[in-house]
Structure 1
Amino acid sequence: MKYSSTFSSSPCLLFIFLMIFFNSATATRFNIPRLSPIGGTILQELSGIVLQSHHSEHYKTFYYKQTLDHFNYRPESYSTFRQRYVINFKYWGGANASAPILAYLGAEAPLDGDIAGIGFLTDNAVRFNALLVYIEHRYYGKSIPFGSREEALKNASTLGYFNSAQAIADYAEILIHVKKQYHAEDSPVIVVGGSYGGMLASFFRLKYPHVALGALASSAPILYFDDITPHDGYFSIVTKDFREASETCYQTIRDSWSEIDKVASQLDGLSTLSKKFKTCNPLETTSELKNYLENIYASAAQYNRPPRYPVTVVCGGIDGEAFGSDILSKIFAGVFAYYGGNRSCYVNAPTNLSETTVGWSWQTCSEMVIPIGIENNTMFQADPFVLSEFINKCRAFYGVSPRPHWVTTYYGGHDIKLILQRFGSNIIFSNGLRDPYSSGGVLENISDSIVAVHTVNGSHCLDILPANKSSDPDWLVKQRKIEVEIIEGWIAKYYSDLKALN
């Protein structure tokens, strides 16, 4: 079926086409897993942490008059939009002491949830006497160009200013503005980011070393581009997580896909599956159910956090046989356990695509082409990533083709150890090896100051979430301690150099 790119001129029609593609069987993988630091799943938030931003007198919201296009001098490039950033002044030692600035670089979501959900800044603010700055990514939340979300998402012409290079240039402008505003030119800046934001933090340190002294890049899969990482890296780790949790659980999931196909091939098979899984609407294809289950397993693995450990929860449901001993009853018991209780229905619930889903779709269809596929060596049915087909789908959406080699061209990635040790410095790449995205992360030290800090049992962005003394395992406490001590070393060296210059 051929889709015309002319439909992309209407945001409403774009939403419809996204829903069609995301919920239908495709010849190649199209739903690249979200890179969210605080929770969520592929394509839509099935569960996760629902967080409200802090409403405190210590958090003040500002809007910066941001340049639309930092890299062009056409008249329209000089257009501006209001970009949101938030500052917490409570812990700052002040400009006279050149006290540090910890800056959180927002990713593919509104800033509100991250202010509460990213605990690394507030947990360490007293120790560093730091000013805390949180900056929202353009095109998300309240940082919308062109006056409205509808206009900003209208078509590829307005979306064309929506990319990582523009985003980190935004961050540079705002951080320089903040330092001038509070006479903090000598205050060192440490940028912090998680997931896609972690990639931005590392890119920012490489592109703007005069603005940021160092970067903490949590769960940043900067090597999952341009075939540097095997396509099946993500789902291989999902499989490994489940198999380590329970061999029988792993085997049941592995066997379930053919069982779904078997039931679906029978008379009224889709109706039988709809009843078995209590779908919100009758299933039209098996892919609706398979994609839903795949999303749950991937989310459970990516956010396999203490003290709940969702992978263990899902496998406990599957192995517990609460709804019967046949394969599909076991699978449904895993779904039931994942949600922690009964729901009125599961699968294909009516949803409105969020700005985050639409935004991430554009980003993956332009520059963030992460080639995630499934081969025969996992607990899933094979579903390879075929670049040519991915490009065709993106072109059908937006009328423009992805640039799958641009990230490695602009930021690097190939032969990273050989290259970065010569000119890069002061970056922490942190990972948890149970995070499927760690397959594209930096897991070995590149130099004395570009270091990899990983934990065997960690999950996605766990190190930058709020510390919990009652449930954080020792290995997580140690990981955070190492990161803080490294940053302290960077700042101490900076102060020594500053003193020598003065």
Structure 2
Amino acid sequence: MVLLRTLVLLHLLATAYATQLRARNANLPRPPTVPPVPAPDIAVYHVATGAVLPPLNTTYYFDQLIDRANPQLGTFKQRYWHTWEWYEKGGPIILYTPGEENAEGMTGFLVNRTINGQIAQQEHGATIVIEHRYYGETNPFSDMSDKNLKYHTIQQAIDDLEYFAKTVKLAMPGGDSVGPAEAPWVLVGGSYSGALTSWTMVNKPGLFRAGYATSAVVEAIVGFWEYFEPVRQYMPKNCSADVEAVIAHVDTVLKTGSESQIAQLKDNFGVTELTHVDDVGGALRNNLWDWQSLEPSTGPNATFYQFCDALEVKNGVSAPSSGWGVDHALSAWGGFWQDGYLDNLCGGQSIADCLGTYDPTNPLFTDISVGNDYRSWNWIVCNEVGWFEDAAPVGMPTLVSRLAQPAYDARACSLFFPDTFPAGSSPVPRVAQTNAAYHGWDVHVDRLFFANGKRDPWRGATVSADAHFVPSTPEQPIAVSDGFHGSDLATSNALVDPTVLAVQQQALRAMHGWLQGFEPTKQGYAEEME
């Protein structure tokens, strides 16, 4: 478990503003847990021939088109990693992208510690991890200014996968003749890249023989208050009762309280530096984001439970399901923040820099360097998907301050990208266009397997959302475990959760049938699409 947390931390917090990323992790469907990375110095052998294969951390480079619609613009280097430990001629090519983060060190997704490797092992296939454009070191330009982000779109990412599959020459024997017309390709993704799997199979019918999409956030939503519903439903009842009570009190004070009452509330949480009341209310979401933070595949991390214990355990006695009430919970919440949580959250930054959202000179908004994956992700958020994690509608229970509304989070788009969204422009992501183009919840694609977890906070944007019923069919199965975000990706999770094991076994059976039906064609997909 410690290794899992360490790996996720290393990859998720790779930018210079790592602590800010945690403090401001709204709108970030963090990729599922990275499985333990095999040591790079451990030899890899082909299981049938015994041949020594390149180390798993061998980095390959593909000349990717900047704009497939305009090849004259040239190419850039796209990184990928590849092994063929179980491959036999005619076997599938399993392609995975971690999506919105640096892919270096993701070699755990090449081996059977993941569903990717399980499919490859079962079907005698080869595996690939490819880095998404504008993340890590895969970037067409030397900086990520607004003008250079022009080609950072969902459609360009989909086109990348198509161009790679159709033209890459893999290092393995026969790797120059395993395109989609000659071998079955399987696209695997989790979270945003799970959605990308669905969107690609909608947009490029026939390119991939099959797909596996876990925790796939297929529906773009501007005000994604549903993010916190699985948290509210599955967290301890006494804790949810007291969080709701505190938030109701916080909103009353911030909206109608006197200056002294507001100052007292800020002092309770140690955030007196925050000059805007919506920043105060919005900052309290951090404890709820901890439900997913750092250990998404195994459930809430220790910090989330420590938070609830701080509110609900008094003198060694746990509160009833109704909680202790607002007076104790408010003081306890403030004590939890000031007894180390706030320092850990902000990592030595000032409170204003860490939790404030009004200063356009904050390095969070001005850093345009390549490798700033948080900036890259917010470009997609602001333009195409939304997913602003805010308060529930009036009349419904909410764990989040009602001062946190989509307009509050969308305002940051003008700070990140002032040339694209001038100050005062009220940015609204083009979610209707995204859902129309890639079908969102209404996806109907043969040989696409969806896997979800009941406790996943992102479930409301998946095909297992409460708000929209999507039937499970033999050709588009939907399997739901008791797990969290991408629980079914890691092989190890099946050892502790039989419902995750059941999902993995169902997926492997489906993949076997779908891949057995593949027949190479002389006039394959590549020629037909020309």
Deviation by residue 1:128-153 (Cα, 9 ceiling, x = unmatched): 2221100100011110112x2xx2x1
Query: 1:198 Cα shift?
Result: 0.3
How many residue pairs get matched? 434
Query: 1:167 Cα shift?
Result: 1.0
**Conserved in 1, the CA contact under 8 Å of 2:35 and 2:490?**
no
Please name the residue that 1:405 is paired with. Answer: 432
List aligned pairs for 1:205-284, cutoff 5 A: 205-225=201-221, 231-242=224-235, 245=236, 247-260=237-250, 262=253, 267=260, 270=263, 273-274=266-267, 277=269, 282-284=273-275
Given the superposition, is the C-alpha separation of residues 333 and 425 from structure 1 closer, same or farther in structure 2, using an over 3 Å criterion? farther
Q: 1:116 aligned to 99, 108, 115, which one?
A: 108
Secondary structure, counterpart of 2:240 in structure 1: helix
Q: 2:376 aligned to 359, 364, 369, which one?
A: 359
For 1:409 and 1:431, the matched residues in 2 are separated by 23
Please name the residue that 1:88 is paired with. Answer: 83
Q: 2:401 aligned to 381, 392, 395, which one?
A: 381
Q: 2:413 aligned to 394, 397, 401, which one?
A: 394
- Return 320-329 or 362-371, whichever deviates more: 320-329
Please name the residue that 1:434 is paired with. Answer: 455
Please name the residue that 1:192 is paired with. Answer: 188
Query: 1:440 Cα shift?
Result: 1.9
Please name the residue that 1:459 is paired with. Answer: 484
Query: 1:333 Cα shift?
Result: 6.8
**Conserved in 2, the CA contact under 8 Å of 1:318 and 1:332?**
no
Query: TM-score under structure 1 normalisation?
Result: 0.74
Deviation by residue 1:344-363 (Cα, 9 ceiling, x = unmatched): 82444427747121111111
For 1:66 and 1:314, the matched residues in 2 are separated by 46
Compute the RMSD of aligned alpha carbons.
3.8
Please name the residue that 2:160 is paired with. Answer: 170
Which amino acid in 1 is paired with 2:242?
A: T
**Conserved in 2, the CA contact under 8 Å of 1:241 and 1:301?**
no
Which amino acid in 2 is paired with 1:410?
A: A
Given the superposition, is the C-alpha separation of residues 90 and 278 from structure 1 closer, same or farther in structure 2, using an over 3 Å criterion? farther
For 1:403 and 1:344, the matched residues in 2 are separated by 35
- Return 136-145 or 293-302, whichever deviates more: 293-302
Deviation by residue 1:272-313 (Cα, 9 ceiling, x = unmatched): 755x5567x955455455434312313405766537665555
Structure 2 gap segments, 5+ residues each: 1-15, 42-54, 318-323, 355-362, 365-370, 422-428, 465-469, 525-530
For 1:482 and 1:345, the matched residues in 2 are separated by 44
Deviation by residue 1:13-35 (Cα, 9 ceiling, x = unmatched): xx99xx89x97xxxxxxx75211
Structure 1 gap segments, 5+ residues each: 1-14, 24-30, 40-48
Please name the residue that 1:328 is paired with. Answer: 330
Which amino acid in 1 is paired with 2:515?
A: I
Deviation by residue 1:5-54 (Cα, 9 ceiling, x = unmatched): xxxxxxxxxx99xx89x97xxxxxxx752112236xxxxxxxxx797685
Query: TM-score under structure 2 normalisation?
Result: 0.71
Query: 1:487 Cα shift?
Result: 0.9
Which amino acid in 2 is paired with 1:66?
A: Q
